[in-house]
Amino acid sequence: GAGVSQSPSNKVTEKGKDVELRCDPISGHTALYWYRQSLGQGLEFLIYFQGNSAPDKSGLPSDRFSAERTGGSVSTLTIQRTQQEDSAVYLCASSSWGGITDTQYFGPGTRLTVL
């Protein structure tokens, strides 16, 4: 079946602009995660959605970052007033039930460059 898809694959924006990144998880997966991969910070967790529960936002680096998940499926990560330090690859992952033994399947990522 189809894997996790993300769009766009690349995004170049100017400092101060807002960006939206999209993630389509594997059909039927109830858990969805956003991570960020950058040279300075490695791979870091941003936010987690599980079904209709309140999201775990503990990894969001600032209040410029927000995310939503509509209908328990597609998710959008929004970065407002982008800064150069936001440049990174943003990865989305989904898993079937969100347990600690559950495998997370990753999308190809969105490479964000803030000029």
Partner 1 sequence: GNSVTQMEGPVTLSEEAFLTINCTYTATGYPSLFWYVQYPGEGLQLLLKATKADDKGSNKGFEATYRKETTSFHLEKGSVQVSDSAVYFCALSVEKAAGNKLTFGGGTRVLVKP
- CB-nearer residue toward partner 1: 70 or 103: 103
d(Cα 23, Cα 41) in Å, to the nearest integer? 22
Q: Draw the binding track, 54-73, toward partner 1 (x: CB under 8 A; -: no contact).
A: x-x-xx--------------
d(Cα 79, Cα 77) in Å, to the nearest integer? 7
d(Cα 105, Cα 103) in Å, to the nearest integer? 6
Binding segment for partner 1 (CB under 8 A), chosen from 14-22, 63-71, 74-82, 93-101, is 93-101
User: Binding of partner 1 at residue 48 (CB under 8 A)?
Assistant: yes
- CB-nearer residue toward partner 1: 48 or 65: 48
d(Cα 36, Cα 87) in Å, to the nearest integer? 9
